[in-house]
Homo-oligomer: A and B are copies of this chain.
Amino acid sequence: MTPTVYIADIAKYPGKEVTLQGWVYNKTHKGKLQFIMLRDGTGIIQAVLFKDDVGDAVFESCLNLTQESSVRITGSVTEDKRAKGGFELQAKKVDILQIAPEYPISPKEHGIDFLMEHRHLWLRSSLQHAIIKVRHEVIRACRDYFDNLGFTLIDAPIFTPAACEGTTTLFETNYFDSKAYLTQSGQLYMEAAAMAFGKVYCFGPTFRAEKSKTRRHLTEFWMIEPEVAYCDLPCVMDLAEGLIVSIVERVLERKKEELLLLERDLAPLERVQKPFPKITYDQAVELLKKADAAFTFGSDFGAPDETIISQAFDRPVMVTHYPAEVKAFYMKRDPAQPDRALGVDVLASEGYGEIIGGGQREDDLQSLLDRIEAHKLPAEAFNWYIDLRKFGSVPHAGFGLGIERTISWICGLQHIRETIPFPRTISRIYP
């Protein structure tokens, strides 16, 4: 019996007869020959239809095939050095499942709104396909990195009773007779879990109702958040550096073809090696001054500031010791300079800006209580979190890596919206 196979596996069947199932990606014909570029999601191959081989009736009906029509083609696999992938299919039999009407996405230019509205079809395009393949590899690399280091996966809850970083950017939902908020970060839960499992990570969607319409913002985005007990700022910086190196190495190793299709310059990625430059907030501010940026000392960096800072280095840069005021209530302060937080942001190279934020957490009970009060946070919602500083408090640290920003940087994209299969922005939840 003729085996039904995927195009990705075609090299296993040279000279053999196989059946392929897929969609017409492109088509040309010339006299007694038709050339169908067939895609099946795992690859693209050219099927050659010779009228005398397939018969007049099949040949005629295949002239009606349009882009994205669905077909099964049986034929023999022949090596062809000129063909992409090295093989083509000499068709013997064609089974048409459906002739598609005119496909809305053509090679001509489309506006971004049109493409986003047709995201369910746009995903079939080769560039979008490549980005999503890179995304899958980035996610596998993240999980493998932590799994191999003996971390335990702890899925953080999505419904939370309170805000971790302020309430203005929270999505609120009715929760039976009360209210719940969609998580902005699993960190607080990871702190609890780190005290139970030593080293943990969560990986899941997080939500911010930010009204900012920028190329770096999605309302729904994925984060991987490790947290380690008995770990301080230098320890967690090592972990972050190792993660980024490991992700980039893996994508270069397994998804080079996709990066080349995206016309990504590989040189900057190949430079992503340890050690990363490590600078303080003050040193970063010096860089902004030199670049004549309008920046007020003491404030947080905006996207344009991050661009300037990251462009000063040939690989990701780690910035530490931000003013405590601009960082979250749970950050531990530097005992040597109490107005500074023991936090670290990692800015991706080539102007891509922040992909990691993290640091050492406040482990002293009274300092944490003071901070919760100063930030006017609802203390009773944090009772469980405060418990962690009563029952065996230890130094601990962690960070969050934004998956979409990382993919955007690795793929060299202009906008974050193409890094996730179905992007959600301030103005879009369809399809």
Select which of B101, B211, B430 is within 8 A of A161 by beta carbon: B430
A159 touching B220, Cβ below 8 Å? yes
Question: Residues of B contacting A140 with CB < 8 Å?
Answer: 143, 147, 153
A220 touching B158, Cβ below 8 Å? yes
Question: Residues of B contacting A286 with CB < 8 Å?
Answer: none
Question: Residues of B contacting A42 with CB < 8 Å?
Answer: 150, 197-199
Interface residues of A in 255-275 (CB under 8 A from B): none
A98 close to chain B: CB less than 8 A: yes
Assembly CA distance A234 to B25 (angstroms): 28
Question: Residues of B contacting A171 with CB < 8 Å?
Answer: 173-175
Question: Residues of B contacting A427 with CB < 8 Å?
Answer: 176
A41 touching B8, Cβ below 8 Å? no
Give A382's nearest chain B residue, CB to CB. Answer: B431
Question: Residues of B contacting A6 with CB < 8 Å?
Answer: 150, 198
Give A157's nearest chain B residue, CB to CB. Answer: B422
> Contacts A172-B173, A229-B41, A394-B97 known; A157 to B193 CB distance under 8 Å?
no
A164 close to chain B: CB less than 8 A: no
B136 touching A429, Cβ below 8 Å? no
A155 touching B421, Cβ below 8 Å? yes
> Contacts A120-B192, A196-B41, A392-B70 known; A429 to B161 CB distance under 8 Å?
yes
> Contacts A154-B421, A157-B220, A160-B429 known; A129 to B391 CB distance under 8 Å?
no
Taking the closest CB of chain B, its distance from the CB of A422, in whole angstroms, is: 4
Interface string of A40-57 (1 = CB under 8 A from B): 111000000000000000
Interface string of A110-148 (1 = CB under 8 A from B): 000000001111011000110011011001100100010
Give A393's nearest chain B residue, CB to CB. Answer: B98
Taking the closest CB of chain B, its distance from the CB of A72, in whole angstroms, is: 8
> What size tier do the contact residues of chain A reach?
35 or more
A301 close to chain B: CB less than 8 A: no
Question: Residues of B contacting A175 with CB < 8 Å?
Answer: 171, 219, 429
Assembly CA distance A108 to B173 (angstroms): 38
> Contacts A120-B388, A174-B172 known; A132 to B197 CB distance under 8 Å?
yes
A152 close to chain B: CB less than 8 A: yes
Question: Residues of B contacting A129 with CB < 8 Å?
Answer: 196-197
Interface residues of A in 87-102 (CB under 8 A from B): 97-98, 100-101
Assembly CA distance A385 to B383 (angstroms): 45
Taking the closest CB of chain B, its distance from the CB of A131, in whole angstroms, is: 12
Question: Residues of B contacting A197 with CB < 8 Å?
Answer: 41-42, 123, 129, 132
Assembly CA distance A98 to B98 (angstroms): 70
A155 touching B222, Cβ below 8 Å? yes
Give A43's nearest chain B residue, CB to CB. Answer: B198
Question: Residues of B contacting A155 with CB < 8 Å?
Answer: 135, 205, 222, 420-421
Question: Residues of B contacting A209 with CB < 8 Å?
Answer: 176
Taking the closest CB of chain B, its distance from the CB of A398, in whole angstroms, is: 14
A60 close to chain B: CB less than 8 A: no
Assembly CA distance A101 to B365 (angstroms): 13
Interface centre among A103, A143, A390 (most CB of B within 10 A): A390
B8 touching A150, Cβ below 8 Å? yes
B391 touching A68, Cβ below 8 Å? yes
9 nearest CB pairs, A to B = A41-B198, A384-B431, A120-B192, A70-B392, A123-B196, A41-B197, A157-B422, A173-B173, A21-B230
